[in-house]
């Protein structure tokens, strides 16, 4: 049997889980993975990404469903999603994207109370044996490096 060491995960495993909404925290001064705060929407990096560049785009207002949003908020959210994809194309040059919205826990929503889109850049060959057989993801770039590569582009929005 082979062993894969990931000692940095112990901090997450043993830590007290956040009780506050991660998006509301990201909008405060404590949000260190926030790339963009617009008038109606925001963009933050996923702290536990599927792959490098995995972004979360959410309305600034704390809403859990599309029914609760105004037309202006929905338009801004989609515009911000489009702009985020454009930045990822320019900076990371992926071959494609998965863009999704999980509504409800049974649909996979990890933060059910605050609606958000996932933008996951994809590259040919990015599914590997580690994910398929060992249920492990290999993230080749440190989260902070990805943040610093993306942040200047979001500052221009």
Q: Considering only CA atoms, which of 80, 71, 62, 70 is closest in space to residue 117? A: 80
| Residues 29-67 as b or e (16 or more Cβ within 10 Å = b) | eebebbbbebebbbbbbbeebbbbbbbbbbbbbebeeee
62, two tokens: 């704390």
142 is catalytic: no
What 3-state DSSP class applies to 5?
Answer: coil
Give the active site residue among 114, 116, 118, 148. Answer: 116
Rg over CA atoms, the chain: 16
CB atoms within 10 A of CB 150: 22
Active site residues: 116
């Amino acid at each position: 049997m082979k062993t894969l060491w990931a000692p940095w995960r112990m901090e997450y495993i043993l830590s007290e889980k956040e009780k506050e909404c991660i998006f509301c925290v990201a909008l405060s001064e404590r949000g260190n993975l926030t790339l963009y705060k617009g008038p109606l929407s925001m963009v933050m990096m996923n702290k536990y990404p599927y792959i490098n560049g995995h972004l979360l785009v959410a309305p600034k207002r704390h809403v859990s469903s599309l029914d609760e949003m105004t037309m202006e908020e929905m338009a801004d959210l989609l515009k911000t999603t489009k702009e985020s994809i454009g930045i990822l194309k320019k900076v990371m040059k992926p071959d494609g994207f998965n863009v999704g919205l999980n509504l409800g826990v049974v649909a996979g929503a990890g933060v059910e109370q605050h609606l958000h889109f996932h933008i996951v850049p994809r590259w040919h060959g990015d599914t590997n044996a580690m994910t398929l057989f060992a249920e492990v993801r290999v993230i080749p770039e440190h989260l902070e490096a990805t943040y610093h590569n993306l942040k200047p582009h979001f500052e221009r929005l």
